Homo-oligomer: A and B are copies of this chain.
Amino acid sequence: MPRFSREHSLEYTQLKKNLRKWLRKRDYKSILKFLTKLHPADISELIDNLPEDEEKAQLFSLLDLETASDVMADLSEGSRRAILKDITHDHLTDIVKDLPSDEAADILGVLPKERVERILAAIPPQDSAEVKSLLKYHKETAGGLMQAEVWALPANMTVEDAIEQLRTLAQETEEEFHNIFVINGEKKLLGTVSINKLILSSPEKKLSELMEKPKGVIFVDEDQEEVARKFQKYNLVSAPVVDHNGVLLGRITIDDIVDVIEEETSEDFYRLAGTDVEEIVYGDNIGKIARIRLPWLLTNLFGGLLTGYLMWLFKHTITDAIALIAFIPVITGMGGNLGLQSSTISVRGLAIGKITLHNFKHHLFKEIKVALVVATVCGSTVGIIAFLWHKQPTLGLMVGLAMFCAMSMAVLMGTIMPILLRKLGVDPAVASGPFVTTANDITGILIYMTIATLLLNYLRG
């Protein structure tokens, strides 16, 4: 219990502050005294939060083998790369030996081929076969997420024998298994029996009598985002992974899924902001981060210049009626804001499956209705302000009308663009953020300046 008490957490913050000092001074005694009190997940977090790669590797090298394996499995990709750069062959081999197959494959996946082969040759053949089989799947599919270790037993086995078998299997692993999978002679998945049910059934029953249809079955080539959605929808804790012949290949557990959800969500956030989640991997490499952001920024720079060029084309309108300039920012800005709302709601709706290609029209109509209401309120407000400020009814009318049109256009673009991208197979999140804002600037200026030029004679009057 003390692990989570608030007093502990205060003391913890104090000790955390000393960590970098101790590392600099190589005061390993103090560090080890601090670390022994911690959960491996806390140690992973500490390493992730250390700013320098050398510090990460230094702290990691102090851990005993079992803790090192647990910590390695939990580290962020950036920290992992930092540590793998320095680690010795033997140390890494020991860690890989200690990890479940999915974690081992994740780690080997980022290493050069030659190093992978040396490590695989040094671990027990069965482990190495499991890891090898996982390495062939794409990282972002079910195959990349699953672990090869499963508790699979034949359908004609009795409860008594099954429990006996589990006693042996449980010796080999620290992990928790909540289900056993029931298979036939060809390793095809027939059903699943929860450990709960097994424990509560009479010993002579056969597994085939107890087994149920699994709540969710995952195909090995399914995209991880789809897998995560199944887990959420069907409240799964673990699910079997099969190939297209129904042969059991492994299992995926909910803790991997929580990580996938976080990863996919971060990806959406970063893309909405016009950058990429890759940034996280590069940690403090300023050059790499700048190189990720620059293409987005430069594209928008040309978008901005295009908007400016349009204003330049209308320069006579502007100098003839200078009052116009005071409303440029508010018209383009409000289009941008409303467009960002619409596109974010579309992107998020698509991501969590609330909006589909099927119910999209309903969503679009809703957005249009909302847009008509808010564009009327905002248009009238700005129109009245423009009239009161410059004492020109035409100016007021015109500014209000332009804002109404710009905001309506923005909602259309913001709502439709993400769906269109999804149809084209592009991640909808890239549509939001900067691009929607820039696109709305351009249409906003065009609408405003066109209306102004048409009404110029009345404006001067």
Interface residues of A (CB under 8 A from B): 1, 3-4, 13, 16-17, 39, 41-42, 45, 48-49, 51, 74, 163, 166-167, 170, 176-178, 189, 194-196, 198-200, 213-219, 230-235, 237, 242, 246, 254-255, 257-259, 261-262, 265-266, 268-270, 272-275, 279-280, 284, 286-287, 289-290, 293-294, 296-298, 300-301, 303-305, 307-309, 311-312, 315, 318-319, 322-323, 325-334, 336-338, 340-341, 343-345, 347-348, 352-354, 356, 358-359, 362, 366, 369-370, 373-374, 377-378, 381-382, 385, 433-434, 437-438, 441, 445
Contacts and interface: CB of A to CB of B under 8 A. Distances in A.
A296 B341 CA distance: 10
A40 to B, nearest CB: 9
A177 B237 CA distance: 11
Contacts of A307: 329-330, 333
Given A300-B337, A309-B326, A328-B308, A170 B196 contact: yes
B213 A1 contact: yes
11 contacts: A1-B214, A49-B359, A273-B344, A274-B341, A290-B370, A301-B378, A325-B325, A329-B441, A333-B441, A337-B433, A437-B437
Q: Nearest 8 A-B pairs (CB), nearest first?
A: A304-B330, A273-B344, A307-B329, A308-B326, A304-B333, A290-B373, A312-B326, A235-B255
Contacts of A352: 262, 266
A442 B113 CA distance: 53
Contacts of A382: 301, 305
A100 B116 CA distance: 49
Given A266-B348, A341-B293, A344-B269, A232 B258 contact: yes
A336 B246 CA distance: 52
Contacts of A325: 308, 311-312, 315, 318, 325
A71 B235 CA distance: 12
Contacts of A270: 344-345, 348
Given A330-B301, A362-B51, A176 B194 contact: yes
Contacts of A216: 3-4
Contacts of A274: 337, 340-341
A373 B434 CA distance: 19
Contacts of A13: 358
Nearest to A309: B326
A214 to B, nearest CB: 7
A219 B6 CA distance: 10
Nearest to A303: B333
A330 B345 contact: no
A69 to B, nearest CB: 14
A282 to B, nearest CB: 10
A213 B341 contact: no
Nearest to A368: B286
A287 B304 CA distance: 34
A196 B167 contact: no
A353 to B, nearest CB: 8
Contacts of A214: 1
B217 A1 contact: yes
Which of A196, A273, A296, A437 is packed against the most chain B CB atoms within 10 Å? A273
